[in-house]
Every structure is written in structure tokens, then in C-alpha cells.
Chain A
Amino acid sequence: MSAADAPTIVELSADDVLRARTEAVAKAGVGRKADHLLEVRGLSTHFFTPDGVVQAVDDVSFDVGYGETLGLVGESGCGKSVTALSIARLVPDPPGKIVKGSILFDGIDVLKLNPDDMRKLRGKEIGFIFQDPLTSLNPTLTIGYQIGEAIRQHMGLSEKATQDRTIELLSKVGIPRAKERLKDYPFQFSGGMRQRVMIAIALSCDPKLILADEPTTALDVTIQAQILELIQTLSSEFGTAVLMITHDLGIAAGMCDRVNVMYAGRIVETGTVDELFEEPRMPYAWGLLDSLPRIDDIRGDRLRTIEGLPPLLIKPADACRFNPRCVYARDVCREKEPELTGRGPTGHMARCWATEPEGWIA
């Protein structure tokens, strides 16, 4: 990364971020219409394929508070992205369909909105950051146009005001010489810069919620850190809530207030970052934590993995979905699916027979 690429964001201390965050969260809560910004209840999104109905997201419930950062963690194909797409009602239909549940966004029932009203919500109230910045920008339109698009669509500003705001956003996400770069095309930007542009687009209308779908997966590690910091700083500054989807537990630990672990279309554990990392109550979460490479690993040793693959989500049996891969599984795990139940005085919950009070793992 050359010097010109370096972000111009002011480095904030952890305290600064925390203070800004507290203030912003307080501000974000002003005029709130509900207890939580986002309340997802019993969401089920199925894909109707020739092979059968794939229950990609099955009875998922969670809340995102105003200004909160919630992590959604799990391996590929466990329904994280589909959950996010469902919230923005962007699930490709056909074959996908939200079959059950409700999504309350700032008191609005998202699933009952007509397509026009839904479009007014997207981009304005709900921003989206996609995984691959290289393909998420239109190669034939200028950066300036693409950032201004949502502003033009939703805010009804004059052409001049739109441009001013675009420049402001572009410099906010740390692109130097923002004004000159408006007329550039995406291919003139590096991957990291393009993801900055995507963040600028997501933030362009001051959304209340940002759905960040693996925003750093396509980037190399140094750029990852910058992008995550940028998301963190800006979401604190604007009081934006973030639903951070990632398969990287390190990212979840560093950024999120609370974390949901998803497996096979279900939430299998939920809790604060501390609870989850210090005392995970579900073997899948242990497996995920255990498969993180550690600095004291002996060179040449194989990385630890969870044996097997996530199950196909066509007609899942009434059993714990993780049981075929779980070393602690007993008969009950194969006979009945556990409920998501409490594991402590706070909101820590897990879906596991073994860690229930009468279970076999203390």
C-alpha cells in the first residue's frame, strides 16, 4: 500500500471510541419507536430448489439494539448471509422465500411493506456492505455517481449538495484528494479503497443499521484491519447499528458487543463477546474457537478443524443439527432438537442438551 493510499482517519484511542459510542448510542436512541432497532422473530427463509426445500434460515430470532454491533458468526452455508438478505428483503425470489416470522425494523414490519416502501428503506435506513468490493461496484459508472446514487434516490438534495456530500463521505472513509477522485472509475481504485467506497455508499444516507456481509473476506489482512477500524469508527460516530456477518471469530471478538453463533440455519448460541469467548456453552462454538490458529502453535502441526461438513438443509430431522460432528453427542441429541435456553443470569443462551443444567457437561 503506497503512502497515497493510507487512510487519513484520525487515530482514536479506545476511550475516545467508547465515549463517542456511548454518546452516539444515546443519540441513536432518541425518537426510537421500539425497544430494539431490529427485532427478528422466528424468521424462516427457504429455497425451493428442484432437489427439495432448503431451509437455509430456520426459526431465527434475535435483536439488534440502537447503535449496537451484533456479530453473526458461523462457517460457510449456515445461513448468515441469507439472514442479512432477508432483513433487507433481497433474497432472490425465486427460488428463495421468507416463509415465516417477522422482522421489525425501528417499529416497522419489514415483511409487510410493499416493494416501493421497501425500496425507500433500503439504502436510506439500512445500508449494506458486500463481501467483494471488486465486483460490487459497477465498472462503467464513476465512483462519484455510485456514491451519490443513494443520496439522489433518497434524500432529494440538489445536484450540488449531493456532490458536496459525496466528497465529504469519500474523505470520511479515508480517500485522499476526494474531490478529484469522484470522476474516477472503480478500476482505478485498489481493493481496499473500493471497500472504503462501499462503506461510503452504505453510510451515504445516515442509515440506522448497516448489514456488513463479510466486509473484509476479500481483502488482505492489513487492509482488513483498516476497514474494520473504519467501520467501527464511523458507526460509533454516526450511532449506526451494525450487523457484522463473519466467519472470523477474531473480527467478532474485536468489533461486536454481542455475538450470535449460527449453525445449519439456526442460532445455536448467543451472548456477549466475553461470555462467548470465555465460556462457550455449545460444542460447535468450542470447535470454532479451537480451530483458530494460535501464535503458540507448533510449526508444521496441522490446523485443528471440526470434522465433517454442515448438513444439507433439506428436511432436517428433529435432532441437534450438529450431532453428527459432535464428539459429545448422546442418544438424546439424535432424537430431539434442543431449544435455545438460558445459560446464566444475562442473555447468554445455547442450544445444546449437554450444557443444559441436567446435561452431561458442566
Chain B
Amino acid sequence: MATETLRGGIAKPRPSASLWRDAFGRLRKNKLAMVGLVLVGFVGFIAIFGSILAPYNYQDQDLTAVVANKGQPLPPLTGGHILGTDQIGRDLLSRLMDGARISMSVAIVVQIVVICIGVPIGAMAGWFGGRTDNILMRFTDVMYAFPDLLFIILLTVVFKQTPFGQAMDGLLLVFVAIGLTTWVTVGRLVRGQMLALKETEFVEAARAIGVSDRKIVTRHLLPNGIGPIIVAITLGIPAAILAEATLAYIGIGVQAPRASWGSLINDGQAVIRSSPWLTFFPAVCIAVALISFTFVGDGLRDALDPKLKGKQ
């Protein structure tokens, strides 16, 4: 390497590397994170194009095949069903692909809710400090202390019959409910970032040239604190997917005939002894999605950590 640099004679000017390019370079060297990113991309691809790629419609019933099988679900690789069918002849692979769409929407919608609530509240608490901080943070504490599951169940029960409760097959309500219980972490994180950053001299310098408060927060503070926020949000995705699966498992959220991975497990567990694949494959899907998002989140955390700069 050294000789190669020397041969050039004059050192080339260093390419201007922004924070993001630097971080991306480090992320690319992280094998686990790249594996995670590929898997996330794969799940995302399935979520978008699943309905075209799926061998069957997720609600079509292959009843003749089930009847021929003495009313039992078809095992994998029989009757043209790669992963088999459920008790009423619906193709498991197609249902899993539809489930991917639900899980990815959870990933996105919940995090949007989290950002929309957590970032403004955290930013206001941190920036204004004093009484505002106190009120907002006590409110956050209350939200944190409230049992999540109970809160989500209450919300879904109260809003079930409203148009909002019916939107997206009842999923929107669940997503918002999950978001409402999980923004707390991000809110606290943003507040902490604000507190640390608002004392910096570049903020004082920005004030000294008459930049407005709103612009200081959005232009100067948030971009500086965005690394940890991105990490928290990425790591919040598997938690949200898991929360949705848990809710689906206990029968809240997605309405039949649509199925999320969680409700597929719920459906399958009745026949887990005779047809274990009906619980096994959805469980694998959940596990893979969770692990890949976690890998990406961990990779991002390492990549965006300035203390690791220069190390590989």
C-alpha cells in the first residue's frame, strides 16, 4: 500500500468526506450489518411485490386438496404448495408473503408515529428546559409507566368501530397504538441530545448571528444528534414487529382473512402436533426479520459513533 502511495509522487487531495459517507464506509465493512441490510431489502421487496410474486392469492382456498388429504392441512412440497397449506387450504407461502407486507408497514408506520411524537416532544423539552421540560418529561414518565399492552388493548377496543379503527384492515389503529406506547425512548433520547448540544459553542455562535430558535433546533441541533436517533429508530423496528406479532397472536389487530406472522402462529398452534410447519415458518419469518433489523441497527450504531472513527 505504502509503495503505491509513494509512486504517485504528489499526494492527491483527500476526497471530501462528509459524515454520512464516512459512516456508510464503516457500515459497508461490517459484514453482519450488510447481511442484515440485504435481508431487510429482501423482506421489503417481498412486502412490495409479494402480491404479484405469490403463487396464490392469500385468501384462496384449495379445498379439494384438503379434502383429498382427509381434511388435514397439506404438508410442505405437496399439491403445488411449497410450504403447504392451512386447515382450509390456503397457501402458507402466499400468506407469509402478505404477512411480510404487514410487518414492513409496522416497521414504517410505527416509526413515523414515534418520530412525529418523540422528536418534537424531546426537542421541546431539551431546548426550552425548565418548566416545559418538567411537564413534558413527567408526561413521558407516565406514558412509560403505563402498561403497554393494556393501553393498546384499550385503544383498539375504544376505536374499533370508528373509520380510523377500520382503516387498513384494522392495522392502522394497531400501528398508531404501538407507536403511542414506544415513542418514549426516542423522546428521552432526543431530549438528552438537545441538552448536551444546546450548550455547545456553535449554538451560541448561531444565536449570535440571529438565527431563530426553530432553525437552531432543526438545522443545528437535530443533525448533530441524528446518529443516536437513527439507531434508536432502527432498533425500535424489531420491537414494533414483535409487538404487532404479539398482539396478533392474542387476536388483536389484523382481521381475517388477512394474516400477519403473529396471527399465523396463533392459527397454527391449534394443530402444532399434527402440522408443525404452520407455526414453524411464520416463527422463522419473525426471527429473520427481527435479527436482520437488529444487525442493521447495531451496524448503524457502530458506524455513526464518532469515537470509532478511523477504526475498522
Contact = CB atoms under 8 A, between A and B. Distances in A.
Given A130-B201, A130-B204, A140 B210 contact: no
A80 interface: no
Interface string B212-254: 1001000110011000000000000000000000000000000
Contacts of A183: 16
Contact of A139 (B16, B208, B224): B224
B-side interface size class? 20 to 34
A121 B211 CA distance: 11
A248 interface: no
B202 A136 contact: yes
Interface residues of A, number: 32
Given A135-B200, A138-B224, A153-B211, A128 B16 contact: no
Contacts of B224: 138-140
Given A136-B201, A140-B19, A119 B206 contact: no
Interface string B44-86: 0000000000000000000000000000000000000000000
B145 interface: no
A84 to B, nearest CB: 10
A59 to B, nearest CB: 25
Contact of B220 (A90, A123, A141, A201): A141
Contacts of A121: 210
A276 interface: no
B204 A122 contact: no
A335 interface: no
A135 B206 CA distance: 12
Provide the main secondary structure of the chain B interface: helix
Contacts of B212: 119, 153
Given A136-B202, A141-B223, A123 B210 contact: yes
A76 B219 CA distance: 33
Nearest to B219: A141
Interface in A172-188: 183-185, 188
Interface string A148-160: 0110011000000
A57 to B, nearest CB: 18
Contacts of A153: 209-212, 215
B202 A135 contact: yes
A138 B210 contact: no
B18 interface: yes
Contact of B208 (A123, A141, A184): A123
Interface string B179-223: 000000000000000000000111011111111100100011001
A130 B210 contact: no
Given A123-B208, A153-B211, A138 B18 contact: no
B201 A128 contact: no
A88 interface: yes
B213 to A, nearest CB: 9
A137 interface: yes
28 contacts: A120-B210, A121-B210, A122-B209, A123-B211, A124-B210, A128-B205, A128-B209, A130-B201, A130-B204, A130-B208, A135-B201, A136-B201, A136-B204, A136-B205, A137-B205, A139-B19, A140-B19, A140-B224, A141-B223, A149-B206, A153-B209, A153-B210, A153-B211, A153-B212, A183-B16, A185-B16, A185-B19, A201-B205
Given A120-B210, A124-B210, A138-B206, 6 more contacts: A123-B208, A136-B205, A137-B202, A140-B19, A141-B223, A184-B16
Please provide the 4 A-B residue pairs with the shortest distance between their CB atoms, ordered closest to farther: A123-B209, A128-B208, A123-B210, A122-B210
Interface of A: 88, 90, 94, 119-124, 127-128, 130, 132, 135-141, 149-150, 153-154, 183-185, 188, 198, 201-202, 204
